[in-house]
Structure 1
Amino acid sequence: MRALIVGAGIGGLTTALSLHAAGIECVVADSVAELRPLGVGINIQPHAVRELTELGLAEKLAEIGVPTSFQIYTDCFGGTILLLPRGRGAGYRWPQYSVHRGVLQMALFDAVRERLGDGAVRTGLTFQDVVEGPGGIVASLRDARTGEPVELAADVLVGADGVHSTVRARLHPDEGPLLWGGVRMWRGITGSRPFLDGATLAIAGSNDSRKFVAYPLSPDGTRINWVAEVKVAEGGAVPPADWSRRGRLEDVLPHFARWSHAWLDVPGLLAGAERILEYPMVDRDPLPWWGRGRVTLLGDAAHPMYPVGSNGGSQAVLDARALARHLAESGPVEGMTAYEEERRTATTPLVLANREMPMERTVALVAERAPLGFDDVSQVLTPDELAAMAADQRRITDMDVSFLNERASWSVC
């Protein structure tokens, strides 16, 4: 069996490693001329860390990632609403990692080249179309440098080409544009003094108005990834967003200029960023089906979701591992069907739950009841309200601890 993977992001490269480990040949095609470590931070949840560990990447993850100790929710004054242990502290056998997205992508890229050969990833090829026959598929691509057409044959095609997926557009041509909830996001990385224990993911405020997320990307806690989110409109359909668009400090700083935390300098992080990126928070409605026959989707191409659960990249890793397992066990057609049934059923509720932004309701309630801040959250929220908030967080981010720790490996022997 041979697979063609369109897209050399985290999902596509993890798919290549997973297929190779399962004894399935593959080639990855990406439209960029050269893969580079672009972007900002990402969190990899324990369920994805387990899969990457089984692919032999545990030491590399420990080298490039920061094991997250806690996730803290606060109001805009820094008052603690909820503090949750993460990773091994929450009982998982695997950590949660905060890591630079581009650094992780390059680590996966290096592993693919080492195990599959330098020719396993072909850059500068833009996907055009795919035709399926009784014995496989033929994909039409174009060389971005010369304009020449390129045809690649395989048994299956996997569209792992991100939120602006061309493969998805071919499969679902009438879907329409991305959907926007009205939240604008600014992201950056800033050198700063560590906050709290140097390994905590902090979430302040809510998407009802303004929200600020920060977590370290370096072991000493001094390189901090941040996300500033502001509700600026009611939302609706938006044209394709440019994920590399430069943001302006003067557009974001006024929203957070008076945020004063004893342990987190929000205005200072914004002002000190090496570079600011800006784009809308978008997703798509879940599809009733992803692909047909020997063609399917994976990762953000299949189930783009709001990043409020820090789970999108992790779900792409799970997609990759499930796809390899089903193809190895059931062959190209039945395997694709079984993969989609498993993963579409698992990810559809996540997309919808992230869209609800369930924890935001509780944080907004705190702001309503204690607009000037509080000394003790028990004076603001009941135990039941705090328990419901913790349950909401688990619903969009976590996998059951006992289930993950005890279930059989997805590796194909």
Structure 2
Amino acid sequence: MTAPVLIAGGGIGGLTAALSLHAAGVDALVVEHARRIEPIGVGINLLTHGVRELTELGLGDELADIGVATAEYVFCDKAGNPLFTQPRGEGTGSKWPQYCIHRGELHLMLLEEVRRRLGADAVRTGTRLQDFTQRDDAVEVQVVNRESGAVETLRAAALIGADGLNSTVRARLHPQEGPLAWSGQRMWRGVAEGVPPFFTGRSWVGVGDGDVTLVAYPVGKGRTNWVSLVRVAEPGPLPEGGDAPIDDQREGQLQEVLGYYADWSIDWLDVRGMLESSGTILEYPMVDRDPLPAWGRGRVTLLGDAAHPMYPAGGNGAAQAVLDARVLAYELARADGDVPAALAAYEAARVEETGGVVMAARAMERATGPDSWDREQVTRIMEMYRKKAESEAAQLNSRPSYAPPGRT
């Protein structure tokens, strides 16, 4: 390919795509809307299949340095009594760990690696994708410099829309999509300092009754990530401008969150103290979209949240974006220059699989409620997920690598 692959979006998926393409001998350029990439956000889970791919990119030590290897999931009632415990990561038989990790630190680590391996100019910040036009032999992409307002046309072998939930590339490819699908839940998220360790010290815990839930897990450096999920409506289309961009950095109000936990008393976790010791609190609705039968066409496709936004049930968003990136690079590397064929093969490998993850996460969230959050129900559901995890570990351990031949 004479022109580089242009990646719209410098998030976890976009940067992993750049690293994967570079390892496959394919030139890449990332354009990012933000003027500066900073370590914003809160904690996320990086599941074993995502860890494998980043480890094979040579980032295993870096992940171990900034992440906490998750030992188990523990589900409890709102009094803190354990209902079910499930091993995670290497405890499932996986060759790779699972990590709880601060999203901003993972993001900066990937950015530093892209600039080190591909060069300082491989990521252009403050650059907004405006539109694109497909030609027989390339994609012409119009971008705008956010400082000067200057418009530039970039020529690319392919355009990858890795520009997140509010994807411009997806909107151009699928202009008739309706509003986002809402779970009926509001989410508040934060990172607290100085919370004493609970259970193993590497435990992910979910506490609640199905209508008001609290998730907490360590993300290193004495910090605990927490997520408050409150069901306020029935699932359905997101109301009041549901087709407008979602601001995932919208600041939430501490007092509003505290009100939902006023009567909680847990001997191993000071819920009020954890919430009050947090920095910035983020608040936004839990949303996804119905899976698409195809993401792109010709020389344009999607990746990560732009392709398959999903509820955070199962913590699979980051790992699926990483898998997208690796499969994309693998198919482009072995397509002998036939970019449309490579992108078609990439979508064939990923569309149905990620659609299944989206629907599984939706079913899991929509099935919960006050009648389902008891020992028998949680045990039954999580036993099913335990067997699935062990099956997935065996499959992951035996699957051939997505690493294509590297540069010669």
Question: What displacement does 1:402 show?
Answer: 1.2
CA contact (8 A) 1:358 1:393 kept: no
Hey, what does 2:109 align to over in structure 1?
107
Hey, what does 1:372 align to over in structure 2?
none
**Separation (CA, whole Å) in 2 of partners of 1:280 and 1:393:** 28
What SS class does the counterpart of residue 188 from structure 1 fall into? strand
Hey, what does 1:391 align to over in structure 2?
384
**Separation (CA, whole Å) in 2 of partners of 1:345 and 1:399:** 19
Corresponding residue to 2:320 among 315, 318, 321:
315
Question: What displacement does 1:390 show?
Answer: 2.5
CA displacement 1:335-385 (0-9 Å, x = unmatched): 100001110011001111111126954874345xxxxxxxxx4xxx28xx7
User: Aligned AA for 1:248?
Assistant: Q
Alpha-carbon distance change, 268 to 393 in structure 1, aligned in 2, over 3 angstroms? farther
Question: What displacement does 1:79 show?
Answer: 1.3
User: Aligned AA for 1:85?
Assistant: P
**Separation (CA, whole Å) in 2 of partners of 1:198 and 1:293:** 48
User: Aligned AA for 2:399?
Assistant: R
Corresponding residue to 1:186 among 185, 188, 191:
188
| 1:252 maps onto 2:253 in alignment | no
Question: What displacement does 1:388 show?
Answer: 3.7
Hey, what does 1:55 align to over in structure 2?
57
What SS class does the counterpart of residue 313 from structure 2 fall into? helix
CA displacement 1:286-305 (0-9 Å, x = unmatched): 11210000000000000000
Question: What displacement does 1:132 show?
Answer: 0.7
Identify unmatched segments of 5+ residues in structure 1.
368-376
Which deviates more from structure 2 when the two are superposed, residues 385-394 or residues 276-285?
A: 385-394
User: Aligned AA for 2:383?
Assistant: A
Hey, what does 2:332 align to over in structure 1?
327
Question: What displacement does 1:179 show?
Answer: 1.7
Where do 4+ consecutive residues of structure 1 move more than 6 Å? none
User: Aligned AA for 1:352?
Assistant: M
| 1:341 maps onto 2:341 in alignment | no
CA contact (8 A) 1:359 1:393 kept: no
User: Aligned AA for 2:233?
Assistant: A
**Separation (CA, whole Å) in 1 of partners of 2:173 and 2:29:** 21
CA contact (8 A) 2:86 2:386 kept: no
Question: What displacement does 1:263 show?
Answer: 1.1
CA contact (8 A) 1:168 1:297 kept: yes
Corresponding residue to 1:305 among 287, 307, 310:
310
What SS class does the counterpart of residue 57 from structure 1 fall into? helix
Alpha-carbon distance change, 213 to 388 in structure 1, aligned in 2, over 3 angstroms? closer
Alpha-carbon distance change, 359 to 230 in structure 1, aligned in 2, over 3 angstroms? closer
What SS class does the counterpart of residue 400 from structure 1 fall into? helix
Hey, what does 2:80 align to over in structure 1?
78
Corresponding residue to 2:94 among 92, 95, 99:
92
Corresponding residue to 1:146 among 130, 145, 148:
148
**Separation (CA, whole Å) in 2 of partners of 1:362 and 1:96:** 28
Hey, what does 2:397 align to over in structure 1?
405
Identity score, percent: 48
Question: What displacement does 1:41 show?
Answer: 0.4
Hey, what does 2:358 align to over in structure 1?
351
Alpha-carbon distance change, 361 to 243 in structure 1, aligned in 2, over 3 angstroms? closer
Hey, what does 1:230 align to over in structure 2?
230
Question: What displacement does 1:393 show?
Answer: 6.5
CA contact (8 A) 1:66 1:216 kept: yes
User: Aligned AA for 1:386?
Assistant: T
| 1:286 maps onto 2:291 in alignment | yes
Alpha-carbon distance change, 40 to 141 in structure 1, aligned in 2, over 3 angstroms? same
Hey, what does 1:68 align to over in structure 2?
70
CA contact (8 A) 2:74 2:204 kept: yes
Hey, what does 1:35 align to over in structure 2?
37
Alpha-carbon distance change, 142 to 366 in structure 1, aligned in 2, over 3 angstroms? closer
Alpha-carbon distance change, 363 to 87 in structure 1, aligned in 2, over 3 angstroms? farther
Alpha-carbon distance change, 398 to 362 in structure 1, aligned in 2, over 3 angstroms? farther
User: Aligned AA for 2:57?
Assistant: L
Identify unmatched segments of 5+ residues in structure 2.
none
Which deviates more from structure 2 when the two are superposed, residues 233-242 or residues 164-173?
A: 233-242
Which deviates more from structure 2 when the two are superposed, residues 14-23 or residues 264-273?
A: 264-273
User: Aligned AA for 2:286?
Assistant: M
**Separation (CA, whole Å) in 1 of partners of 2:390 and 2:247:** 29
**Separation (CA, whole Å) in 2 of partners of 1:366 and 1:180:** 21
CA contact (8 A) 2:183 2:366 kept: no
Question: What displacement does 1:406 show?
Answer: 1.2
CA displacement 1:379-403 (0-9 Å, x = unmatched): xx28xx72443214666x7861111
**Separation (CA, whole Å) in 1 of partners of 2:122 and 2:225:** 32
**Separation (CA, whole Å) in 2 of partners of 1:274 and 1:7:** 27
| 1:24 maps onto 2:26 in alignment | yes
Aligned length: 395
CA contact (8 A) 1:75 1:363 kept: no
CA displacement 1:159-198 (0-9 Å, x = unmatched): 0000000100010111022221210000001111111221
Hey, what does 1:373 align to over in structure 2?
none
Corresponding residue to 1:201 among 185, 199, 204:
204
**Separation (CA, whole Å) in 2 of partners of 1:8 and 1:280:** 23
User: Aligned AA for 2:203?
Assistant: T
**Separation (CA, whole Å) in 2 of partners of 1:359 and 1:83:** 21
User: Aligned AA for 1:224?
Assistant: T
User: Aligned AA for 2:327?
Assistant: A
**Separation (CA, whole Å) in 1 of partners of 2:59 and 2:342:** 26
Alpha-carbon distance change, 339 to 399 in structure 1, aligned in 2, over 3 angstroms? farther
TM-score normalised per structure 2: 0.93
**Separation (CA, whole Å) in 1 of partners of 2:80 and 2:267:** 7
What SS class does the counterpart of residue 37 from structure 2 fall into? coil
**Separation (CA, whole Å) in 2 of partners of 1:262 and 1:349:** 38
